[in-house]
Amino acid sequence: MDQSKILIIGSNGQLGRALQLKYPKAVAADLSELDIADEAAVDKYHWQNTKFILNAAGYTNVDGAETSDGRKAAWKVNAKAVANLTKVALKNDITFVHISTDYVFDGTIVPHTEDESLTPLGVYGASKAAGDIAINLAPKHYLLRTSWVIGEGKNFV
């Protein structure tokens, strides 16, 4: 696979930095290069050379999402931005890989299954669930959900 055809979104975050180590020849973009929550900016981006979007961007402050400003930020990054990227993936025949979370579930079913209904309990989970729904509109997509991301950055166990 030609790594130069991969676009890593959220490249300055913990997961984005780890993905750059795995795909060192990929194109890396963060907010300063591409504001994925801005539909016009996403539309204007040069998508011609992109075959894979790896979306590592996300508002991940679970407690902060319950505040007024956090709620707005969570929905902007976790839902609206994913919908913007989904439209681009659909229009340009791009495979879209999106990283989500188990917070889209309420925890009553263990282990989680691929066909489990979305049942988020808070704003963070609801905003991520909205993004999960949006990506399903892209014909070529992978939706990955994680419980923990451990690496360089803020970690807790």
3-class DSSP assignment, residue 92: helix
Give the residue numbers marked as catalytic: 124
Q: What average pLDDT does the chain have? A: 93
**Mean pLDDT along residues 30-51:** 96
User: Is the pLDDT assigned to residue 30 strictly greater than 60?
Assistant: yes
Of 128, 129, 130, 36, which is closest to residue 89 (Cα–Cα)?
36
User: Is the pLDDT assigned to residue 155 strictly greater than 70?
Assistant: no
| Residue with more model confidence, 150 or 31 | 31
Domain ranges in the chain? 3-146
User: Is the pLDDT assigned to residue 92 strictly greater than 80?
Assistant: yes
* pTM metric for this prediction: 0.92
Q: Which two structure tokens, joined as six digits, stand for 27?
A: 């194109």
Instruction: Give the CATH fold of the 3-146 domain.
Output: Rossmann fold (3.40.50)
Q: How far is CA 102 from CA 29, 65, 93, 119, in A?
A: 25, 16, 28, 10
Instruction: Provide Rg for the chain, Cα atoms.
Output: 15
Are the beta carbons of 104 and 77 closer than 8 angstroms? no
Are the beta carbons of 24 and 3 closer than 8 angstroms? yes
- The model's pLDDT over 107-150, given as tens digits with 9 standing for 90+, comes to 999 898 888 999 999 999 999 999 999 999 999 999 999 876 76
State the burial class of residue 125 (Cβ atoms within 10 Å of its Cβ: 0-12, 13-18, 19+).
buried
